[in-house]
């Protein structure tokens, strides 16, 4: 009620407003946060006289999160993608356009990477203990891996005339790109709501645009992939209009017989990645693209990943394990966008 009274006072006289200003019209950072996708989201945006109030923005954000959940969640049996996954081989089903778009994008990443990226990894993720139907984290037998691999293959899924089709009994998991897509959806809605300065983060995927009320840019900290609870900042990026993804093997893993097994699965090996690349950060105008490319480069590893990034002009920052420490390497596009101490 107090805020409404203040807003009403501001409307009494434009002359008074022009001469003295009004407290409710001053810019401030509003913060929204909550649970989503088994993790959390955090949104900061600059409120001013032309933007909606935080409660209204929260309704808009929750509407998008709910729609993504209904369409793409593999943790609920009634989502659109869950219904597709439960269908038998040789099935075509009408799907919402976002589901078709993400399936097509995943297929394109798979083709570009010769299968290093694959949306049908569900059986392998579950087998190794990282999927929605996982029972326990453990090293499976060679026979179990071969059986799971037989139920994996991006080439068995295609988009045809508004339908999602499969010619084998495969299942699609959007976990590697759904969060990036969601960030972009919220960003697009913010543009429609006249919100032009914000930082949107969903399960670690984020985009930032504009400036904070004090005129400073949004700054994103890149942490070293220590994975033992320590938080050591490796580099800080000033972001304006770009999405950022960091994919790593250091947060979700298990150890068996002294060996670490990451949640990032190499589709061709049917097992967690085993190279020395600990994390890779990708910066792109599209958070969806940054999300998918981050996973793809992490699977490829340091040498193949850097080569892929150079070939496709991807801004990527690689962190490799090097003895007891870490070594870093960046792509040419990352160096161009972020000269040391600079911003894009």
User: For the chain, which residues make up each domain, given as ranges?
Assistant: 80-166, 222-337
- Model's pTM, two decimal places? 0.88
Rounded to whole angstroms, how far apart are CA atoms 157 and 134? Answer: 23
Domains 80-166 and 222-337 share a fold: no
pLDDT of residue 125: 93
Rounded to whole angstroms, how far apart are CA atoms 13 and 20? Answer: 11
Rounded mean pLDDT of 49-54? 96
More confident residue, 14 or 90: 90
pLDDT, one tens digit per residue, over 73-116 is 988 999 999 999 999 999 999 999 999 999 999 999 999 999 99
pLDDT of residue 25: 54
Rounded to whole angstroms, how far apart are CA atoms 312 and 331? Answer: 10
Least confident of 5-19, 89-103, 186-200, 325-339: 5-19
Q: Please provide the average confidence, as pLDDT, over all residues in the chain.
A: 89
pLDDT, one tens digit per residue, over 183-221 is 999 999 999 999 999 999 999 999 999 999 999 999 999
pLDDT of residue 96: 97
Distance of CA 183 to the CA centre of its chain: 7
The fold of the 80-166 domain, in CATH, is T-fold (1.10.3980)
**DSSP label at 216?**
P
What homologous superfamily is domain 222-337 in, according to CATH? Answer: ApbE-like domains (3.10.520.10)
Phi, psi of 5 (to 5 degrees): -65, -40
């Amino acid at each position: 009620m107090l805020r409404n009274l203040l807003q009403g006072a501001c409307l009494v006289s434009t002359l008074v407003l022009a001469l003295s200003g009004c407290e409710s019209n001053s810019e401030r950072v509003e913060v929204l946060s909550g649970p989503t996708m088994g993790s959390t989201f955090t949104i900061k945006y600059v409120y001013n006289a032309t933007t909606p109030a935080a409660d209204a923005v929260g309704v808009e954000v929750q509407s998008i999160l709910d729609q993504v959940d209904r369409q793409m969640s593999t943790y609920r049996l009634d989502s659109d993608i869950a219904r597709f996954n439960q269908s038998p081989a040789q099935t075509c089903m009408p799907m919402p356009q976002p589901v078709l778009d993400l399936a097509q994008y995943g297929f394109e990443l798979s083709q570009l990477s010769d299968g290093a990226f694959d949306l049908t990894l569900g059986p392998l993720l579950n087998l190794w203990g990282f999927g929605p139907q996982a029972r326990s984290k453990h090293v499976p037998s060679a026979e179990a891996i071969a059986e799971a691999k037989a139920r994996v293959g991006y080439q068995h899924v295609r988009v045809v005339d508004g339908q999602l089709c499969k010619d084998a009994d495969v299942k699609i998991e959007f976990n590697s790109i759904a969060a990036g897509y969601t960030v972009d959806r919220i960003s697009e809605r913010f543009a429609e709501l006249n919100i032009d300065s914000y930082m949107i983060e969903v399960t670690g995927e984020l985009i930032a645009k504009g400036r904070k009320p004090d005129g400073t840019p949004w700054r994103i900290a890149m942490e070293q992939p220590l994975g033992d609870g320590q938080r050591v900042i490796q580099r800080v990026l000033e972001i304006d209009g770009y999405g950022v993804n960091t994919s790593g093997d250091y947060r979700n893993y298990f150890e068996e017989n002294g060996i670490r097994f990451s949640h990032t699965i190499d589709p061709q090996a049917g097992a967690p990645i085993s190279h020395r690349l600990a994390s890779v950060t990708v910066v792109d105008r599209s958070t969806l693209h940054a999300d998918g490319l981050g996973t793809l480069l992490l699977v490829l590893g340091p040498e193949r990943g850097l080569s892929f990034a150079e070939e496709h002009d991807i801004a990527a920052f690689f962190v490799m394990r090097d003895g007891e420490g870490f070594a870093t390497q960046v792509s040419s596009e990352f160096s161009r966008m972020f000269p040391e101490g600079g911003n894009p």
